[in-house]
């Protein structure tokens, strides 16, 4: 078990992960509904606004990962990022013009780039590799529990007080996450362990360019990153599209439906994350991750069958399965592939860069197709992309657990 001296820091990490759940995605699908219904934006404009956040993440991802590898002040990096999210959400509540929304979304995206590698690095630095799979599963379970709580609150707040109140709710949660982060003792974090440092740390201070070259010289990691791009290219736009589709003619009920969809998915993710951590340790990373790839195209096709709220909410069970697995196993596979490089957080940043690029392209592509054709055509297209990602992952990405054990 982790050292008793780190117990307080681990409890603070629990709180940080719980509150950050609703911070790193910003306003998510609520923003798309707000812009579409209340600001009378076109779907293509909504796509631009949604893509701005992930483009900001895309540009910041590698620098954020490299920063987390290098710095011994990981807590303050997270606190600063949370403050940027809070300020940007307040700013968006006061403006409705496209340029202002795009800038604020880009700032949230850049801040969000810090959070996944920071949480993973802090976690690994606190508990070590022997307990990392269990800790990652716990992080994901807490993350999804936080999302459930936030989704319920957002649905209630949005319905009772209006969509603008959701902006302020996200800002408040961001500040709560900053407080929890400061309760983690920096001295409890082993910063060499947090970046998967090599046993002979002669290159610990190598420049970022050399570090990136290390990643490029790891073809198995590059194949995995390509698979993550395809996963998110097929996945990212689905839930925002559901919100847009059902809001036509029913703007007042859209917030409650989206909240219900999020709650169902997040509730499913909690046990799935814990089971995924166990399964990845026992049976391997790849078999578990294949399940996440398999359910994605099925989910997209099911969205074309009905706009019945109960049906759409039921389909979100598949989203819970896929996302619950992704959040755990992706981190474990990156840790396996980056072992001994000293650039674990940079590798996570590169993976998240693929996530951000896939998400941006997904939202842009979906907005264009939906404007030119129909929502059902868009869902079918996303399902086809997801199926190609499944094939790539099956054929091109190796199992990593055995490699990690061999390197141990």
Q: Is the residue at 196 inside a domain? A: no
Q: Is the residue at 289 inside a domain? A: yes
Q: Is the residue at 191 inside a domain? A: no
Q: What mean pLDDT is predicted for residues 24-51?
A: 75
Q: What mean pLDDT is predicted for residues 353-361?
A: 84
Neighbours of 307 (CB within 10 A): 16
Which segment of 112-126, 150-164, 325-339 scores lowest on mean pLDDT? 150-164
Which segment of 5-9, 25-29, 150-154 scores lowest on mean pLDDT? 25-29
Per-residue pLDDT at 230 exceeds 90? yes
Please give the pLDDT value at position 403: 52
Q: Show Cβ contacts of residue 348 under 8 Å, excluding neighbours closer than 6 positions.
A: 65, 116, 117, 120, 121, 331, 334, 338
For the chain, the average pLDDT equals 83
Please give the pLDDT value at position 290: 96
pLDDT tens track for 256-306: 777 777 778 878 888 999 999 999 988 899 999 999 999 999 999 998 898
Residue 4 — very low, low, confident or very high, per pLDDT cuts 50/70/90? very low
Neighbours of 243 (CB within 10 A): 24
Residue 178 to residue 285: CA distance in whole angstroms: 32
Per-residue pLDDT at 207 exceeds 70? no
Q: Is the residue at 375 inside a domain? A: yes
Q: Is the residue at 205 inside a domain? A: no
Please give the pLDDT value at position 139: 92
Q: Is the residue at 377 inside a domain? A: yes
Q: What mean pLDDT is predicted for residues 107-124?
A: 90
Which segment of 75-79, 208-212, 276-280, 282-286 scores lowest on mean pLDDT? 208-212
Which segment of 166-170, 273-277, 297-301, 322-326 scores lowest on mean pLDDT? 166-170
Per-residue pLDDT at 34 exceeds 60? yes
Per-residue pLDDT at 219 exceeds 90? no
Please give the pLDDT value at position 310: 83
Q: What mean pLDDT is predicted for residues 336-362?
A: 85
Q: What mean pLDDT is predicted for residues 15-42?
A: 76
Domain that holds residue 68: 4-186+210-407
Q: What mean pLDDT is predicted for residues 326-353?
A: 88
Residue 333 — very low, low, confident or very high, per pLDDT cuts 50/70/90? very high
Q: Is the residue at 193 inside a domain? A: no
pTM for the complete prediction?
0.78
Q: What mean pLDDT is predicted for residues 1-8?
A: 61
Closest C-alpha to 64, from 356, 330, 346, 347 = 346
Question: How many structural domains compose the chain?
Answer: 1
Residue 218 to residue 199: CA distance in whole angstroms: 18
Please give the pLDDT value at position 408: 44
Domain containing 377 — which CATH number?
1.20.1250.20
Q: Show Cβ contacts of residue 70 under 8 Å, excluding neighbours closer than 6 positions.
A: none
Torsion of CA 95, 257, 47, 20, to 10 degrees: 70
341 close to 214: Cβ distance less than 8 angstroms: yes
Q: Which H, E and C letters describe the chain, residue by residue?
A: CCCHHHHHHHHHHHHHHHHHCCCCCCCCHHHHHHHHHHCCCCHHHHHHHHHHHHHHHHHHHHHHHHHHHHCCCHHHHHHHHHHHHHHHHHHHHCCCCHHHHHHHHHHHHHHHCCHHHHHHHHHHHHHCHHHHHHHHHHHHHHHHHHHHHHHHHHHHHHHHHCCHHHHHHHHHHHHHHHHHHHCCCHHHCCHHHHCCCCCCCCCCCCCHHHHHHHHHCCHHHHHHHHHHHHHHHHHCCHHHHHHHHHHCCCHHHHHHHHHHHHHHHHHHHHHHHHHHHHHHHHCCHHHHHHHHHHHHHHHHHHCCCCCCHHHHHHHHHHHHHHHHHHHHHHHHHHHHHHCCCCCHHHHHHHHHHHHHHHHHHHHHHHHHHHHHCCHHHHHHHHHHHHHHHHHHHHHHCCCCHHHHHHHC
pLDDT tens track for 126-158: 988 888 889 999 998 898 888 778 777 877 887
Please give the pLDDT value at position 199: 62
Residue 244 to residue 144: CA distance in whole angstroms: 23
Neighbours of 233 (CB within 10 A): 25
Please give the pLDDT value at position 32: 75
Per-residue pLDDT at 307 exceeds 90? no
Q: Is the residue at 106 inside a domain? A: yes
Please give the pLDDT value at position 162: 74
By percentage, how much of the chain surpasses pLDDT 90? Answer: 31
Per-residue pLDDT at 170 exceeds 90? no
Handedness of CA 195, 199, 201, 206 (dihedral sign): negative
């Amino acid at each position: 078990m982790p050292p008793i001296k780190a117990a307080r820091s681990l409890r603070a990490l629990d709180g940080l992960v719980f509150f950050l759940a609703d911070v790193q995605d910003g306003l998510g699908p609520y923003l798309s509904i707000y812009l579409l219904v209340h600001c009378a934006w076109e779907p293509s404009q909504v796509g631009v606004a949604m893509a701005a956040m992930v483009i900001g993440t895309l540009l910041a991802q590698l620098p954020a990962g490299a920063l987390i590898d290098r710095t011994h002040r990981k807590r303050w990096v997270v606190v600063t990022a949370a403050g940027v999210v809070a300020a940007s959400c307040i700013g968006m509540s006061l403006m409705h013009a496209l340029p202002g929304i795009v800038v604020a979304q880009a700032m949230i995206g850049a801040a969000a780039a810090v959070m996944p590698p920071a949480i993973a690095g802090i976690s690994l630095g606190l508990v070590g590799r022997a307990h990392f799979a269990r800790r990652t599963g716990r992080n994901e379970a807490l993350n999804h529990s936080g999302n459930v709580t936030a989704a319920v609150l957002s649905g209630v707040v949005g319905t009772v007080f209006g969509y603008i109140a959701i902006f302020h709710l996200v800002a408040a949660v961001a500040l709560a996450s900053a407080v929890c982060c400061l309760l983690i003792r920096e001295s409890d974090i082993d910063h060499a362990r947090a970046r998967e440092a090599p046993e002979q740390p002669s290159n610990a201070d190598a420049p970022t360019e050399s570090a990136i070259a290390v990643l490029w010289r790891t073809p198995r990691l590059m194949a995995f990153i390509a698979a993550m791009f395809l996963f998110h290219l097929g996945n990212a736009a689905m839930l925002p599209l559901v919100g847009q589709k059902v809001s036509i003619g029913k703007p007042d009920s859209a917030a409650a439906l989206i909240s219900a969809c999020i709650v169902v998915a997040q509730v499913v993710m909690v046990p799935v994350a814990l089971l995924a951590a166990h399964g990845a340790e026992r049976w391997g990373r790849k078999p578990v991750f294949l399940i996440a790839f398999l359910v994605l195209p099925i989910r997209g096709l099911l969205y074309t069958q009905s706009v019945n709220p109960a049906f759409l909410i039921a389909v979100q069970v598949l989203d819970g399965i896929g996302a619950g697995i992704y959040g755990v196993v992706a981190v474990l596979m990156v840790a396996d592939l980056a072992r001994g490089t000293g650039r674990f957080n940079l590798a996570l940043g590169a993976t998240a860069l693929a996530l951000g690029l896939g998400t941006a392209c997904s939202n842009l592509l979906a907005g264009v197709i939906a404007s030119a054709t129909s929502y059902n055509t868009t869902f079918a297209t996303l399902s086809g992309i997801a199926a190609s990602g499944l094939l790539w992952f099956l054929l091109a990405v190796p199992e990593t657990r055995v490699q990690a054990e061999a390197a141990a």
